[in-house]
Amino acid sequence: MDSQVKGFEFRGNAKEWFGIWIVNLLLTIITIGIYSAWAKVRTKKYFYNNTYVEGRNFDYHATGKQILIGRLIVIAALVVFNLILAALPVIGLVLLLALLAALPWLLVRAMLFNARMSSFSNVRFNFVGKYGRAFVVFLLAPIGAYLLIAILGGGAAFAAETVGIAVAVILGLIAVVVLFLVFPVIDRMVKAFSINNHKLGVASFEMNVPVGPFVKAAIFASLWVVAVLVIGGVLIGGPLVAMFSDLEAGIEPGPAQMGLIGILYLLFFVAFLPAVFIYQAMIRNVIYNNTTLEGGHSFTSNVSAKSLLWIALSNMVVVICTLGLMLPWAQVRMAKYLADHTGLIPGADMDSFIGEQQEKVSALGDAYSDIEGLDVGLPI
């Protein structure tokens, strides 16, 4: 089985990418942001073009002009929206609700645009997700989950005062369990919506991951948080309590106390940041290892949370210390790591993908997701 796995390969290098990146930046600055549309295309093209599997690469086909038009419309709408919010607060609130309802539509348009502008081995991707489902996945489910937890929490507080502490504890525990289940369930809905609606030409992707592994990843990540906080509590809990009682007694904190607060911040950092990477690495692996592409193709992934965390952290330190100049190196390093730990098990031969004639689609949703910093890229 393993002998059939064809590894992904990232052929870009930091030197080459640095030249493209700095020219992107310079022209964007000179044109007060206008060139950023072309810079986006060159960035995507560079990373797509350099990603190979089975001797074939990806490509990105959007033009700078398309993206610029989308961005100009979104920026104009953003400015008008902010002015209305300042001038006519009531209408502004109605608009805010309208924007919320439009959010799933914009996300679907962004995914559609991005998919159709991307290709592998001369065949374009496509996206067939519909607004109705997106509305459920991106709006209804999160809002519903929030309400459910709020009601359970409120119910627990209410029960503590009226019925008795036992009922309150049970309701509180249910709230905690629901909280643990809800996040992985919604995350799975989002991933399934994205992957199952993507196509390479006419071939569909299918994610066969039940909710179990998502819950498992959330539990592992939480265990890390709890373990770190417990160990931290044992180590610095005593001095911390002493410090707070000092503060209440009105004693000014000295340098030792300041150091303690610093350690407290560090503790939260150590508790939560690795947890994010543990969750992401486990989810990435399980999704790749259980996703198929019509034609008998399947995928593999074996990233480790430890390596991802190390690369992300050391990248950040290097980038900050070099005032951003090593960013291209950092980006290439991450792309190489991800490609090296991703594989394809080809089914039928790679020559048999077939594309479809596609309608043109505007870059509106894409521009919106760029400006809001949302990530709707290919699930690769």
Partner 1 sequence: MSLLPHQVEGRAYPRLSSRQVAATLKHRAVMQSESEKPDDLFIDILDREGVVLGGAPLSQIEVDWPIGRQPRKLTLPDGTVFETDDHDAIGQIVGESNSTKLHRLEQFHPRLIAFVLACMVGVWVIYRYGLDILVAFAIWLTPPVLVAQIDKGTMATIDFQMAEASRLDANEQARVEDIFATLLPHIEDVPDGTNFQLLFRDMPGMGPNAFALPGGTVVMTDAFIRDFPDEDVLASVLGHEIGHVVERHGMRQLYRSLTVYILIALMAGDTGPFLEEILLEGNVLLSLSFSRAHERAADEFGVKLADRAGYDPAGLKIFFDEISKKFGEPPRWLSTHPGSKERAADIDGYIEALP
Residues found near partner 1 in the complex (CB under 8 A): 12, 15-26, 28-30, 32-33, 36, 39-40, 42-43, 45-46, 49-50, 56-57, 59, 71, 75, 78-79, 82-83, 86-90, 92, 120-123, 201, 316, 319-320, 324-325, 327, 330-331, 350-357, 370-373
**Locate tokens 């543990």: which residue?**
278
Min dist. Cβ of residue 278 to partner 1 (A): 18
Least Å distance between CB 266 and partner 1?
17
DSSP 352: G
Q: From the CB of 241, what's the least distance to partner 1, in Å?
A: 27
Q: In the bound complex, what is the minimum distance in angstroms from residue 339's beta carbon to partner 1?
A: 15
Nearest-approach distance from CB 15 to partner 1, in angstroms: 5
- Go through 115-140 and write b for each residue having 16 or more CB atoms within 10 A of its CB, e for each that does not: bbbbbbbebbbbbebeeebbbebbee
CA atoms within 13 A on the CB side of 298: 14
Question: Dihedral angle at the C-alpha atoms of 335, 336, 340, 341, nearest 10 degrees?
Answer: -40
Compare residues 71 and 188 and give the one whose CB is closer to partner 1.
Answer: 71
Burial of 143 (0-12, 13-18, 19+ CB in 10 A): exposed
Tell me the closest approach of the beta carbon of residue 283 to partner 1, in angstroms.
18
Instruction: Provide the edge-to-edge strand list for the sheet that holds 56-60.
Output: 6-7, 342-345, 297-301, 291-293, 203-207, 198-200, 123-127, 118-120, 56-60, 51-53, 9-10
What is the number of alpha carbons within 13 Å of residue 152 lying toward its C-beta?
17
Looking at beta carbons only, is 120 or 138 nearer to partner 1? 120
Minimum CB separation of residue 340 from partner 1 in Å reads: 19
61 vs 133 by CB, closer to partner 1: 61
Nearer to partner 1, 61 or 216 (CB): 61
In the structure encoding, which two tokens stand for residue 302, read together?
């074996």
Give 326-350 as a DSSP string. Answer: THHHHHHHHHHHHHHTEEEE--S-G
Q: Name the minimum Å distance from CB 163 to partner 1.
A: 36
The residue behind tokens 């150091």 is 259
Is there a contact between 374 and 80 (Cβ–Cβ < 8 Å)? no
Residue among 121 and 280 whose Cβ is closer to partner 1: 121
For residue 152, give both structure tokens.
């359970």
Write out the H or E segment, with its range, that includes residue 115: helix 89-116
If the CB atoms of residues 128 and 163 are measured against partner 1, the closer one turns out to be 128
Q: Which of 273, 194, 188 is nearest to 228 (CA)?
A: 273
- Residue 248 exposed, middle or buried by CB count within 10 Å (0-12, 13-18, 19+): exposed
Q: Report in angstroms how near the CB of residue 288 gets to partner 1 at its nearest.
A: 21
Distance of CA 292 to the CA centre of its chain: 21
